[in-house]
Amino acid sequence: MKKNILRICTFALGLAGAQSMLPAQNTQTQTLEGVWDVSVTVTNCQTGALIRTVRSLQMFLQDGSFTESANTSLRGISVGTWNRVSGPMYNATYWFFRYNPDGTFASIAQSLDTITLTQDGSHFGAAGTIQDFDANNTLISTGCFVHQATRLVPPLRGN
């Protein structure tokens, strides 16, 4: 009898825990919070000519902080902030170092990003500008970019 009561209580607690996780999962899809696989296309703002394409992982944390890692050794990790503007619209501002092929400092880049989350929260599109500044903080270039991103969702883990 005690074993059955223990099993029922354990099962009930498991259901309660699963129920409490559902709203968190649903609200996460209505926010930028999470990790994203991002395709980045950078162009000349005046001519539209392609400058580069990059793939990155971007992480938007609940506290409004942002980090990014790109698939190129010519730039460092991005750090910055993000916020909701209204509805599915967000802004992000972040910075990263660029390096010359020999590994020396080339510039510090500032990105200003306007993001639109899809209704189901599984993708976002973004557009913005990227400005590069030299060691004396003098603007040396400006590029435009677009992002296409897919939310990375961890697989459900079995018990």
Over residues 77-107, the pLDDT tens digits come to 999 999 999 999 999 999 999 999 999 999 9
pLDDT value at position 87? 93
Mean pLDDT rounded to a whole number for the chain: 85
Question: Does the CA dihedral 43-131-31-24 come out positive or negative?
Answer: positive
Contact 149/126 with Cβ under 8 angstroms?
yes
Mean pLDDT of all residues in 59-80: 96
Closest CA to 83 of 100, 65, 98: 65
Contact 141/131 with Cβ under 8 angstroms?
yes
pLDDT value at position 158? 65
pLDDT value at position 93? 98
Q: With 60 as the cut, is the pLDDT of residue 151 above it?
A: yes
Between CA 69 and CA 76, with CA 38 as vertex, the angle to 5 degrees is: 20
Q: With 50 as the cut, is the pLDDT of residue 13 above it?
A: no
DSSP state of 75: B
| Rama region for 130: left / alpha / beta (φ>0; ψ in -120 to 50; rest) | beta
pLDDT value at position 5? 39
Which pTM does this prediction carry?
Answer: 0.78
Mean pLDDT of all residues in 122-151: 96
Residue 29's pLDDT band (cuts 50, 70, 90)? low
Question: Does the CA dihedral 72-78-84-90 come out positive or negative?
Answer: negative
Give bridge partners of residue 66 from the DSSP assignment. Answer: 60, 80
Give bridge partners of residue 112 from the DSSP assignment. Answer: 93, 129
